[in-house]
Amino acid sequence: MDISIIVPLFNEAESLPKLYEWIARVMKENKFSYEVIFVNDGSTDESWSVIKELQNGSPAVRGICFRRNYGKSAALYCGFKAAQGNVVITMDADLQDSPDEIPELYRMITEEGYDLVSGWKQKRYDNKLTKNLPSKLFNATARKVTGIQLHDMNCGLKAYRSEVVKNIEVFSEMHRYIPYLAKNAGFTKIGEKVVQHRKREFGVSKFGLNRFVNGYLDLLTLWFLNKFGKQPMHFFGLVGSLMFFIGLIAVIVVGSMKLYALSHGVQAMLVGVNPYFHIAILMMILGCMLFLAGFLAELIIRNSPSRNDYLIREEI
């Protein structure tokens, strides 16, 4: 099979028939063998009934229905797991992504050898204040942290080699950083294509401003897991040791100053009421706690069944 198209959705019943008709027309014109996997993320409208009707009319339609709303990452994870095509395309169900972009995305994967191609909605029809500006700041930060020079990291329209989606795990709200997940898994040929952004025809957006706050926290999590996920002691042990020894030196300095004052008959503040003494003791305690946290994390990782999971490209 040439292409698997994964469409995660939540309450998009009105747009689904038009979207599938558009996809089917593009596939027929380009003579692609394909499947369309609609992942219904706990919709409360008639989305699942519409998907059933589409499936009855076409064997190319497949459907996955969650019992409740789990989020886009969960929908993509299940879609990736079910996909059978050599190239996997993801797109949103709100008709803001154009299926006419699929042939060129497919060509970039199969002919130019990209592992992943991400869409770039260079001209957007969203609210500039609430979406465009925060999105630009978010993507600038993501480029700096990940080292991947994409203008729109979170664009829903993406193309992947099948091997990529079978070797990454999308969880929590990490769908925003699939290119970074792919890079961490060893798939480094990541490209970008300017794609058309269309105005929403039906329904309302499912994402609020909180996604940008969560996005920064998720980015920090991914960076930390990539940097220290296999060796947490290198972070917690180092920081904990530094804090402990700085606190220890501070305690010695405070004690030495007190002894010096006593030996010279100078009245000095009691060590127990000296704020620097308490700060130093606190640093020593925190240093020990961080060191123990790193040690326990190492014990957990060394007993994890996935501690030696490595991605092998090929064997001969």
Residue 30 Cα to chain centre, angstroms: 32
Q: Which of left, alpha, beta for 186 (phi over 0: left; psi -120 to 50: alpha)?
A: left
Q: What is the DSSP letter of 177?
A: G
If we measure between CA atoms, which residue out of 150, 184, 139 comes closest to residue 164? 184
Percent helix, strand, coil in the chain, to 5, is 50, 10, 35
Contact yes or no for 23/5 (Cβ under 8 A): yes
pLDDT reported for residue 259: 83
3-state SS, residue 90: strand
Segments making up each domain of the chain, as ranges = 3-228, 233-302
What is the b/e burial string over 142-159, where b = at least 16 CB atoms within 10 angstroms of the residue's CB?
A: beebbebebbbbbbbbbb
Question: How far apart are alpha carbons 116 and 139 in whole angstroms?
Answer: 17
Checking if the pLDDT of 125 tops 70, the result is no
Checking if the pLDDT of 123 tops 90, the result is no
Going by pLDDT thresholds of 50, 70 and 90, the confidence category of residue 131 is low
Checking if the pLDDT of 225 tops 90, the result is no
Question: How far apart are alpha carbons 296 and 60 in whole angstroms?
Answer: 49
Question: How far apart are alpha carbons 107 and 105 in whole angstroms?
Answer: 5
> pLDDT tens-digit profile of 141-161?
888 888 899 988 889 999 999
Task: Provide mean pLDDT across the span 68-78.
Answer: 92
> pLDDT tens-digit profile of 10-48?
999 999 999 999 999 999 999 999 999 999 999 999 999
Question: How far apart are alpha carbons 13 and 50 in whole angstroms?
Answer: 6
* Reported pTM: 0.75
The superfamily (CATH) of domain 3-228 is Spore Coat Polysaccharide Biosynthesis Protein SpsA; Chain A (3.90.550.10)
